[in-house]
Amino acid sequence: MNIYGMTLDELSSYFENLGEKKFKAVQVYDWLYKKRVNSFQEMSNIKKELVSKLENDFSLEKPVIITRQNGKDVHKYLLKLKDGNYIEAVLMHHDYGNSLCVSTQVGCNMGCAFCESGRLKKKRNLETAEMVSQILVIEADLHIRISHVVLMGIGEPFDNYDNVMKFINIINSGKGIDIGARHITVSTCGIVPKIREFADSQLQVNLAISLHAPNDKLRSQIMPINKAYKLKDIIDSVKYYIEKTNRRVTFEYIMLEGINDTKECALELANLLQGLTAYVNLIPYNETSHIKFKKTSNEQVMKFYDILKKNKIGVTVRREFGSSVSAACGQLRAKEEEK
């Protein structure tokens, strides 16, 4: 088993079962996440027989960097996993810190029409360790500290719910990577039962809903998940989440020229979200050679923005990080897979 997939409680239980003190887990976590060692042999305050036991029971394997594309304030990584599969991660430099967009699956089964990730179907879920080590590998490569994590890379996080929750536990732990809960965002296309389960966990982690359409007819055309969970189901689950956590929810809305960017769509969206503790993040579309959709003009984006503002909906426009780094999620992986 990969040790980066162990929560502190699980590692404490491991040592207890060996007849050791629980604090050994804290020592090991310190070596892994504070001192960032790459071998158990470097853990100098752990007795040799325990080091041998750790070497026998756990690996310290991490993904390998295959490609790093650099743009203005952005680095996009193609990472190779132990079984030869590929994933992506994107590091973005913001004025508030360094944010990493993490993948949660190899491929995606959600099949959103505008998304490059879903073009190659899901092969498997990522293990917790494979998510944690995306942070470790990129911090080491760039010699930086990652302050924010968004689960918006390849895959649907709530389709890999248990591993994602363990991942959040590990990176949020003060003894672990120590990223604040409010600096972690989970994005879902709308798996309603998992939104409710996530609400019941009452974490102070941010929730983002990939909405992208203001009515069921249009959303079902571009997002197959809407055939299983209609907009009313999603809005009801979001209300439940807000009630449970008292947290604001983000609705992500990719702007697709002539599809969902009209005045009528803006008014429908304003009506749909009226009264919710939420805001909309308008996202400029990253065009790809495989998908027909086009990017909405900046002028049209701002008209859409103004309509939401006038209707008292909180709204932002996501900063663009450029197409120089195959910006659409899944592009690098698709290129490598199709060689």
The residues annotated with a catalytic role in the active site are 88, 329
In degrees, rounded to 5, the angle at the alpha carbon of residue 332 between the alpha carbons of residues 329 and 335 is 125
The residues, any chain, with a CB within 8 Å of residue 27's CB and separated by 6 or more, are 43, 45, 46
10: tokens are: 């699980």
Q: Identity (one letter) of the amino acid at 28?
A: V
Q: Does residue 259 sit in helix, strand or coil?
A: coil
Q: Using CA atoms, how far apart are residues 66 and 57, in angstroms rounded to an integer?
A: 28
Q: What is the CA angle 160-162-168, rounded to 5?
A: 100
How many CA atoms, within 13 angstroms, populate the side-chain half-sphere of residue 76?
Answer: 20
Q: Tell me the C-alpha to C-alpha distance, in Å, between residue 135 and each of 33, 50, 112, 143, 321.
A: 11, 27, 26, 11, 20
Q: How many Å apart are CA 253 and CA 273, to the nearest integer?
A: 13
Tokens (6 digits) for 327:
């910006």
* Tally of CB atoms within 10 A around 324: 12
Six token digits for residue 184: 């972690």
Query: Across the beta sheet with 278-284, what order do the strands follow?
Result: 64-71, 74-80, 86-94, 97-101, 148-151, 184-188, 206-210, 249-255, 278-284, 314-317
Extract the tokens encoding 106. Answer: 């190899």
